[in-house]
Structure 1
């Protein structure tokens, strides 16, 4: 739980008493490689903060093709947010790519924390804003950058993920074939 406190304090300082009141809202869950946290059709009951591991958030189109929306690693937040905030069936999948540990937060818990502790409302607003900005930048990159530029941008932003995530998934995330990614990878050594 100390990782959680450090993560919160990157945005807002909290007292020992405040942290003790925050802790009960989070539950720890260990996750195995290839284990799903959310599958299409489930209700996304939790928002997750990653303590360890790497996760992939994706959806499957009608032909069964996987489209990766997000990779997530330590201190990143993830869920199927449309399902989570609207309490409707999920369209996304969240799967663990290497053994990990997450903290789970229900929407009810999130709302209660926001009402009872203004610092947490501020924390959630900042995290949501940063996440929205990152998503918007990703959409702009997909719409305006060529594969080489998208690859270079990903490599610059997430050098640690380049070494840990199979190339197949990086290619899917970038919207290129595995062969194209191999050429891009070879050309940047």
Structure 2
């Protein structure tokens, strides 16, 4: 989604091999920042430390909500939650990827989408 940041936090912070990968489905602007440069920015500019803390906190909250939704909601509820959070995503992303994100088959997703 626009203005999202993504990384493999473990690999970024510990300098280990990444266990996550990112595939971009649309044209994307990519910025790269080393841990050393991030720490220097945070040391030198208090506003950057605040910025990174806000980004990290927002990402953590979004991940926690996704996990809670996944373990406590039905497929239909997960689908409607996705629609509520990202209304234009359904038109932009292939249905097979949406089904995978929701943890359902493509056929199940078809039953969830109103005709």
Provide the TM-score with structure 1 as the length reference. Answer: 0.59
Where in structure 1 do 4 or more consecutive aligned residues deviate above 4 Å? none
- Deviation for aligned residue 1:99: 2.2
Q: Which one of 24, 29, 33 corresponds to residue 96 of structure 1?
A: 24
Q: Which one of 154, 177, 182 corresponds to residue 110 of structure 2?
A: 182
- 1:106 corresponding residue in structure 2: 34
Q: Which one of 50, 56, 72 corresponds to residue 128 of structure 1?
A: 56
Q: Write 1 or 2 for the structure with the bigger share of helix.
A: 2
1:102 alignment partner, SS class: coil
Q: Distance in 1 between matches of 2:63 and 2:82?
A: 13
- 1:147 corresponding residue in structure 2: 75
Q: Distance in 1 between matches of 2:80 and 2:90?
A: 11
Number of aligned residue pairs = 115
Query: RCO higher in 1 or 2 (8 Å CA, sep ≥ 6)?
Result: 1
Q: Distance in 1 between matches of 2:24 and 2:77?
A: 28
Q: Distance in 2 between matches of 1:99 and 1:122?
A: 28
Aligned pairs for 1:14-163 within 5 A: 73-163=1-91
Q: Distance in 2 between matches of 1:98 and 1:142?
A: 26
Provide the TM-score with structure 2 as the length reference. Answer: 0.95
Structure 2 unmatched runs, 5+ = none
Q: Distance in 2 between matches of 1:79 and 1:126?
A: 15
Structure 1 unmatched runs, 5+ = 1-72
